[in-house]
Amino acid sequence: MPFEQILQYIFSGITNGSIYAIVAIGFNIIYNTTGIINFAQGEFLMLGGMTAISLSAFMPLPVAILASVVITSFVGALIDFIFIRRLKKPTVLNMVIITIGLSILIRDIALHVWDEKVRSLPYFTGSEVTSINILGAYISPQVLWVLGVSGIIVALLGVFFRVTVTGRSMRACASNMTAARLCGINTRNMVTISFMLSAAIGALAGCVVSPITQTQYDCGTSLAIKGFTVAILGGLGNSTGAVIGGIVIGLLEAFSISIMPLAYKDAIAIAVLLLILFVRPSGLFGKKEAAGLKEF
């Protein structure tokens, strides 16, 4: 395969991969603080994109995106207030069913609010036909935005969790909820913040990827599934693992196109997921005990 073609596949792979990684990181944030896997994570991306598109009709693009991130994070908080806080002793099954139910609900509400049409944000720079030549591979400038924004999100989150008090409190909750509470951390609020944060980064990712992939009321579902795969591949709760896992899956999918019929591309991620679950559920970087710790 000529070098340009390989590079082209690589770009395609890491673009998709970084979006998967952001979704996975969203899962991880909530999972770390609560032990819940939020099946509605994909819907945050969809909501972020849709809201920004609607808002961009009467405000400049950057403002619309910012507003949509804020609004979506409120939706995250709302979900926590209405549904999650009320649960007393949830079993895994309860949580799975509730978040699936939420995902269905949000999708259907989105369908009725925005109808089934496909929309997208305008390209941040350039247009539908702009193409940048990098060492023989051609990409849209939006790809650079996706990679850039994803990188910044990961970096900022890293700083947040390491340096700020809130971030460190959330990490404390992740380690041991009871101990954190004993230290005076308001764990209930940490849970809400984790939902808001997940929703916010999901919304931002949804906005930056919207020009390329377009946004539709049901675009969240397949993203969520790929996101899980990446999260588990990297080790549930491990965000660095999520980034690496995302890139791995993205590249696997991209290169699979060159050797097999495109029709099976989506099955690749699932096959990897099953393989990981059967062989090493803690993922590439998770600790074995961690897999057992977060049980109800």
Write out the binding residues for another protein, residues 78-107 only, by CB under 8 A. Answer: 78, 82-83, 86-87, 90-94, 96-98, 100-105, 107
User: Nearer Cβ to another protein, position 57 or 93?
Assistant: 93
Q: What is the dihedral of CA 146, 151, 153, 157, to 10 degrees?
A: 160
Q: How far apart (Å, rounded) are the C-alpha atoms in residues 1 and 137?
A: 13
Positions 25 through 54 that interact with another protein (CB under 8 A): 37
| 205 lies in the site for another protein, by CB under 8 A | no
Site string for another protein, 221-260 (x = CB under 8 A): xx--x--xx--x---x----------------xx--xx--
Candidates 157-165, 171-179, 190-198, 277-285; binding stretch for another protein (CB under 8 A): 277-285
| 263 lies in the site for another protein, by CB under 8 A | yes
Q: How far apart (Å, rounded) are the C-alpha atoms in residues 153 and 146?
A: 11
Per DSSP, the three-state class of 128 is coil
Neighbours of 85 (CB within 10 A): 11
| 58 lies in the site for another protein, by CB under 8 A | no
Candidates 64-72, 170-178, 197-205, 208-216; binding stretch for another protein (CB under 8 A): 208-216
Which tokens belong to 77? 């908080």
Q: Among 121, 212, 233, 243, which residue interacts with another protein (rule: CB under 8 A)?
A: 212
For residue 177, give every residue at least 6 positions away whose Cβ sits within 8 Å of its Cβ, in sequence order, or none. 187
130-137 long-range Cβ contacts below 8 angstroms, 24+ apart: 134/7, 134/11, 135/3, 135/4, 135/7, 136/3, 136/4, 136/7, 137/4, 137/7, 137/8, 137/10, 137/11
Q: Among 120, 166, 240, 280, which residue interacts with another protein (rule: CB under 8 A)?
A: 120
Positions 168 through 187 that interact with another protein (CB under 8 A): none
- Measured CA distances, 122 to 52, 73, 191, 231 (Å): 10, 22, 34, 30
Positions 130 through 159 that interact with another protein (CB under 8 A): 130-131, 133, 138-140
Q: Among 12, 28, 68, 198, which residue interacts with another protein (rule: CB under 8 A)?
A: 12
Q: How far apart (Å, rounded) are the C-alpha atoms in residues 258 and 94?
A: 41
CB of 194 to another protein, least distance (A): 16
Which tokens belong to 277? 């679950």
Angle at Cα 73 formed by Cα 161 and Cα 294, nearest 5°? 55
User: Nearer Cβ to another protein, position 163 or 262?
Assistant: 262
Q: Among 118, 134, 152, 159, which residue interacts with another protein (rule: CB under 8 A)?
A: 118
Q: Among 2, 58, 163, 289, which residue interacts with another protein (rule: CB under 8 A)?
A: 2
Per DSSP, the three-state class of 200 is helix
The amino acid present at 232, given as its one-letter code, is: I
User: Nearer Cβ to another protein, position 109 or 159?
Assistant: 109
| 278 lies in the site for another protein, by CB under 8 A | yes
CB of 113 to another protein, least distance (A): 12
CB of 202 to another protein, least distance (A): 16
